[in-house]
């Protein structure tokens, strides 16, 4: 299409009115077909009835949002896949900043915030055999035109949408096209073996770095200052006693 100025991502778009989860629909395509030939295929839906997020949490996906999954067969080592997430979060933040002049930033590990509210989330599911990647499913959820006042009271306190921020609806196809374009260029940088520029850009858009945070992992909770992130996506925290901790997976609240 004309809005979509990408080389391979989104040249094949599968559209659904309603689907359980675009990640499931994408997975089904991969199981039924050859993932290699689906590289870059995008599944989008107007609504999801079983949308999910990180740690298997439910993800509210009403009409008005952008709910999409990109099938990828990246030529990247499995241990650098967090860089894909970084490229995707950067893409969403950049697209929102460029198109609407909103100050979108990335909260570790992979949320896009506008102000102190979440506006988008990213999810990466992997099918691999050791170091052999069969496919990755990159889920992108953006509360584009979501009417936040229709969400649960709990979500209303934490979530915003672009429509809420701007006071009017946006063209979702055009935002998705920008996101995919911003993502594709960074994806290619990663596939060429260059991680440093992506890591640097992620840091420059980070809401988390240099902030005091409270961390909760399955095993422990602690507070400290987020001082860095490594290329595997681990957050580096300096605790008040000076000790340095590395957090690979968990929740991070800003203090």
Binding residues for ligand BTN, rule: CB under 6 A, are 21-23, 48, 51-54, 59, 61, 67-69, 111, 121-123, 139-141
Concatenated DSSP letters for 55-106? GG-B----TTSEEEEEEE---S-GGGTHHHHHHHHHHHHHHHHHHH---EEE
Q: How far is the CB of 157 from ligand BTN (least distance, A)?
A: 16
Residue 146's nearest CA partner among 40, 59, 248 is 59
Q: How far is the CB of 246 from ligand BTN (least distance, A)?
A: 21
Which residue, 61 or 73, has its beta carbon nearer to ligand BTN?
A: 61
Q: How far is the CB of 160 from ligand BTN (least distance, A)?
A: 14
Which residue, 173 or 189, has its beta carbon nearer to ligand BTN?
A: 173
Which residue, 39 or 48, has its beta carbon nearer to ligand BTN?
A: 48
Count other Cβ atoms within 10 Å, centred on residue 225: 15
- What single-letter DSSP state applies at residue 234? P
Count other Cβ atoms within 10 Å, centred on residue 171: 12
Which residue, 6 or 69, has its beta carbon nearer to ligand BTN?
A: 69
Burial (Cβ within 10 Å: 0-12, 13-18, ≥19) of residue 221: exposed
Q: How far is the CB of 48 from ligand BTN (least distance, A)?
A: 6
């Amino acid at each position: 299409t004309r809005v979509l100025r990408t080389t391979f991502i989104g040249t094949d778009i599968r559209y659904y009115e309603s689907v359980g989860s675009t990640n499931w629909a994408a997975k089904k395509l991969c199981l039924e077909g050859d993932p290699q030939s689906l590289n870059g295929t995008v599944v989008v839906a107007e609504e999801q009835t079983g949308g999910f997020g990180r740690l298997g949490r439910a993800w509210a996906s009403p009409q008005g949002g952008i709910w999409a999954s990109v099938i990828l067969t990246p030529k990247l080592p499995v241990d650098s896949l967090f860089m894909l997430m970084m490229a995707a979060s950067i893409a969403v933040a950049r697209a929102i900043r460029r198109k609407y002049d909103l100050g979108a930033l990335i909260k570790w590990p992979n949320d896009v915030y506008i102000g102190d509210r979440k506006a988008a989330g990213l999810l990466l599911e992997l099918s691999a055999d050791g170091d052999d990647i069969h496919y990755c499913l990159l889920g992108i959820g953006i509360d584009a035109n979501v009417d936040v006042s229709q969400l649960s009271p709990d979500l209303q306190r934490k979530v915003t949408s672009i429509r809420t921020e701007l006071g009017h609806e946006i063209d979702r196809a055009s935002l998705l096209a920008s996101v995919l374009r911003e993502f594709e260029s960074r994806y290619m940088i990663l596939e060429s073996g260059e991680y440093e520029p992506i890591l640097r850009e992620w840091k420059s858009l980070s809401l988390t770095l240099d902030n005091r945070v409270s961390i909760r992992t399955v095993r422990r909770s602690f507070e400290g200052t987020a001082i860095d992130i490594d290329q595997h996506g681990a957050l580096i925290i300096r605790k008040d006693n000076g000790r340095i901790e590395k957090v690979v997976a968990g929740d991070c609240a800003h203090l």
